[in-house]
C-alpha cells in the first residue's frame, strides 16, 4: 500500500484541519515497519536451508551436486522472502510486534516534541504497516480529556480500513475522529493558533 504525493497532501490537510479544532498538539506518523524482523527470519532461512537436503539424502539416490544445487536454490528463495518486511513481521509473534510498535510510537512521540506539549496534551496517531497495527500515544493531559477507551474506537476503525486496502481513507478518517474527540474537551482557543508545521509524516 503506497501513498502518492497527492494522497499525502490530502491526509496532511485533514490533520491540519483537525489540529485547528483543538488546542492539543496533534500529529500522525505512518511507517513501513516498526521493528527489524529480518534477523529473526534469516535464522529460519538458515535452518530451512540446512534441513532441506536431509530428505533428499535419506530417500533419494541423487548425486551430491544435485542436492547441493537444490539446497542453494532453497536458501536463495528463503533469503529473498526474508527481505520482505510484511512477511518477516508475519513470522513474528503478535506480542513482539505490539512491543515494537509501542516502542516506536513512544520514540516518535518524543522525537516530535509532543512529550513537551503545553499541559502535557500532545497526541500522536501512529500506524505501522508491516505489523498492521496502530497506536494512539498521548500525554497525561490529553488522556485526562479523552481516555484510551475512547481512542480504541478510532484505532479499531483505522486498522479495519487499512486491512480493507483503503489506507488514505483510514488516515483521513482517523484525523477527523481525532479532531472531533479532542475538540469536545480540548477545543481550540486564542493561544492555540495552528503552528506552521507539518502534522502528518510518512517515513
**3-state secondary structure (DSSP) of residue 170:** helix
pLDDT (tens digit per residue) in 84-106: 655 565 556 678 778 888 999 99
pLDDT (tens digit per residue) in 109-120: 999 999 999 999
Query: Maximum CA pair distance of the chain?
Result: 83
Average pLDDT, stretch 180-192?
A: 86
Provide the grid cell at 82: 526474508
Whole-number pLDDT of residue 48: 75
Residues 6+ apart with CB under 8 A from 163: 132
Phi–psi pair at 162, nearest 5 degrees: -65, -40
CATH topology of domain 5-35+93-202: Diaminopimelate Epimerase; Chain A, domain 1 (3.10.310)
Q: Quick one: what percent of the chain has pLDDT higher than 90?
A: 51
Please name which of 68, 70, 185, 96 lies closest in space to residue 138, comparing C-alpha atoms: 185
Q: What is the dihedral of CA 172, 198, 31, 188, to 10 degrees?
A: -50
pLDDT (tens digit per residue) in 134-170: 999 999 999 999 988 899 999 999 999 998 989 999 9
Helix residue ranges, H only, 83-147: 85-90, 94-111, 140-145
Least confident of 99-103, 184-188, 190-194: 190-194
Whole-number pLDDT of residue 126: 96
CA dihedral sign, ordered 144, 146, 148, 150: positive
**Residue predicted with more confidence, 27 or 43:** 27
Residues 6+ apart with CB under 8 A from 180: 21
Whole-number pLDDT of residue 36: 66
Long-range own/partner contacts, residues 159-164 (CB < 8 A, 24 or more apart): 159/132, 159/133, 159/134, 162/1, 162/127, 162/129, 162/132, 162/134, 163/132
**Residue predicted with more confidence, 64 or 178:** 178
Least confident of 4-8, 72-76, 92-96: 92-96
Helix (H) or strand (E) holding 79: helix 64-82
DSSP, res 192: -
- Domain borders along the chain are 5-35+93-202, 38-90
Cβ neighbours, 10 Å, residue 144: 14
Amino acid at each position: 500500500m503506497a501513498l502518492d504525493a497527492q494522497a499525502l497532501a490530502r491526509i496532511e490537510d485533514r490533520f491540519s484541519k483537525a489540529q485547528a479544532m483543538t488546542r492539543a498538539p496533534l500529529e500522525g506518523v505512518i511507517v513501513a515497519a516498526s521493528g527489524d524482523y529480518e534477523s529473526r527470519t534469516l535464522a529460519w532461512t538458515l535452518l530451512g536451508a540446512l534441513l532441506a537436503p536431509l530428505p533428499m539424502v535419506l530417500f533419494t539416490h541423487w548425486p551430491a551436486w544435485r542436492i547441493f544445487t537444490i539446497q542453494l536454490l532453497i536458501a536463495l528463495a528463503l533469503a529473498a522472502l526474508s527481505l520482505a518486511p510484511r512477511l518477516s513481521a508475519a513470522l513474528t509473534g503478535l506480542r513482539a510486534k505490539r512491543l515494537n510498535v509501542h516502542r516506536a510510537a513512544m520514540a516518535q512521540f518524543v522525537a516530535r516534541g509532543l512529550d513537551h506539549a503545553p499541559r502535557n496534551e500532545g497526541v500522536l496517531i501512529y500506524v505501522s504497516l508491516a505489523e498492521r497495527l496502530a497506536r494512539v500515544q498521548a500525554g497525561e493531559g490529553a488522556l485526562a480529556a479523552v481516555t484510551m477507551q475512547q481512542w480504541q474506537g478510532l484505532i479499531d476503525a483505522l486498522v479495519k480500513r487499512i486491512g480493507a486496502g483503503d489506507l488514505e481513507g483510514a488516515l483521513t478518517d482517523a484525523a477527523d475522529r481525532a479532531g472531533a474527540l479532542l475538540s469536545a474537551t480540548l477545543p481550540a482557543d486564542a493561544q492555540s493558533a495552528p503552528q506552521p508545521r507539518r502534522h502528518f509524516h510518512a517515513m
